[in-house]
C-alpha cells in the first residue's frame, strides 16, 4: 500500500508510530483522534502515505474493521485520500482555480506551489465532428489536431486534458517544441504563433470516471471527477481551441465571484 515514489524520497526517514489514548468514546473515535493528532503534528506530512491497514491496526490495538471505519471518517473529513491500488495518503493542499480568470493548468498547478509536469502526450490528426466544428466555427470534416495529456502536480496525476485545435494552428512540430520547453499551451500559442487568448466560455459539470480515466488519474472507476469543457477565443472573437479537462475532485477547488442580488431581491 506504500507509494514507491515516497519511499525512494524518504527511505532514511523513520516511520512514525501512532498510539491511541484510552477511549473516551468508541474505539473508532479514539482511532480518529489518534490519526488526526499524528497528521496535525506533521508526523505524516501532506501527500505522505499512511502505514498499511495491518500495521495501523496493530499500532492502535484495534481490529481492521474498527480501523477501516476510522479511515472512512477521516476520508469524509478530507484529511486522507485513498488512491486505487496505491494505498491511503494524507490529503495534500488543494489546487484552487478561480473560474473568473482564464489561465492554463500549468499556471494553476504552479500557483498552488507544486511542480507541474506532463505525461502521456498524444497528438492525433483527425477531422471535426459536428459538435467540434460547431465549437470551433469550422465546417464538419475540417482537419483538426487533438492533443491529449496527463497533467501532474509533484508527480501525482491531477488533470487529464484534451485540447482540440484547427489543423492550421497546431501540428506535430509544435508539440515537439512545446514538450521540449515545458511551457503552457497558452504561452506557446502567444510566443510562437502570435495568438493571444482573450476570453473563454466554460461549462463545469461533475462526471464519473470511466475505466480509462480512472487508470490514468489513479482513482477508482466511478469516482466523481470535475469536468470543464471550454472554448477559447482570440482578440477577434475567433475560436482557437476547444478543451476538455477532467480534474481529480479531492485535489482541486473552484471558486468564482458572484455579483448581486443587490436591490433585485425577492420579497
DSSP 100-158: TS---HHHHHHHTT--EEEEEEEEEEEE--HHHHHHHT--TT-EEEEEEEEEEETTEEE
Is the pLDDT at 7 greater than 70? The verdict is: no
Residue with the bigger pLDDT between 46 and 143: it is: 143
Is the pLDDT at 154 greater than 50? The verdict is: yes
Query: Identical fold at 4-90 and 95-255?
Result: no
Domain boundaries, the chain: 4-90, 95-255
Q: Answer positive or negative: Cα dihedral of 97, 102, 105, 110.
A: negative
Q: What is the mean pLDDT of the chain?
A: 82
pLDDT band for position 183 (cuts 50, 70, 90): low
Is the pLDDT at 22 greater than 60? The verdict is: no
Predicted local confidence at residue 260, as pLDDT:
67
pLDDT band for position 262 (cuts 50, 70, 90): low
Q: Does domain 95-255 have CATH number 3.40.50.1860?
A: no
Task: Name the class of domain 4-90.
Answer: mainly alpha
Contacts of 237 (CB under 8 A, 6+ apart): none
Give the number of other CB atoms < 10 A from CB of residue 41. 9
Beta strands in 26-84 (DSSP E): 80-83
Arithmetic mean of pLDDT, 94-98: 69
**Predicted structure pTM score:** 0.64
Amino acid at each position: 500500500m506504500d507509494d514507491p515514489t515516497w519511499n525512494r524520497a524518504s527511505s532514511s526517514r523513520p516511520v512514525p508510530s501512532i498510539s491511541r489514548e484510552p477511549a473516551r468514546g468508541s474505539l473508532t473515535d479514539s482511532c480518529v483522534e489518534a490519526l488526526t493528532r499524528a497528521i496535525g503534528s506533521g508526523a505524516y506530512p501532506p501527500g505522505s502515505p499512511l502505514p498499511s491497514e495491518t500495521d495501523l491496526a496493530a499500532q492502535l490495538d484495534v481490529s481492521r474493521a474498527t480501523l477501516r471505519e476510522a479511515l472512512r471518517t477521516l476520508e469524509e473529513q478530507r484529511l486522507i485520500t485513498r488512491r486505487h491500488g496505491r494505498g491511503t495518503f494524507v490529503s495534500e493542499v488543494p489546487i484552487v482555480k478561480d473560474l473568473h480568470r482564464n489561465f492554463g493548468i500549468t499556471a494553476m498547478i504552479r500557483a498552488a506551489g507544486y511542480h507541474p509536469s506532463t505525461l502521456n502526450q498524444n497528438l492525433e490528426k483527425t477531422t471535426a465532428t459536428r459538435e467540434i466544428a460547431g465549437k470551433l466555427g469550422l465546417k464538419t470534416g475540417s482537419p483538426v489536431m487533438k492533443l491529449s495529456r496527463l497533467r501532474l502536480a509533484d508527480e501525482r496525476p491531477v488533470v487529464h486534458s484534451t485540447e482540440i485545435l484547427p489543423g492550421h494552428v497546431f501540428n506535430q512540430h509544435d508539440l515537439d517544441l512545446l514538450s521540449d520547453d515545458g511551457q503552457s499551451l497558452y504561452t506557446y500559442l502567444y510566443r510562437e504563433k502570435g495568438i493571444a487568448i482573450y476570453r473563454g466560455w466554460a461549462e463545469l459539470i461533475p462526471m464519473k470516471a470511466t475505466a480509462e480515466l480512472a487508470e490514468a488519474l489513479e482513482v477508482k472507476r466511478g469516482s466523481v471527477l470535475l469536468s470543464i469543457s471550454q472554448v477559447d477565443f482570440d482578440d477577434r472573437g475567433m475560436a482557437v481551441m476547444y478543451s476538455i479537462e477532467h480534474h481529480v475532485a479531492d485535489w482541486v477547488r473552484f471558486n468564482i465571484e458572484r455579483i448581486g442580488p443587490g436591490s433585485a431581491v425577492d420579497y
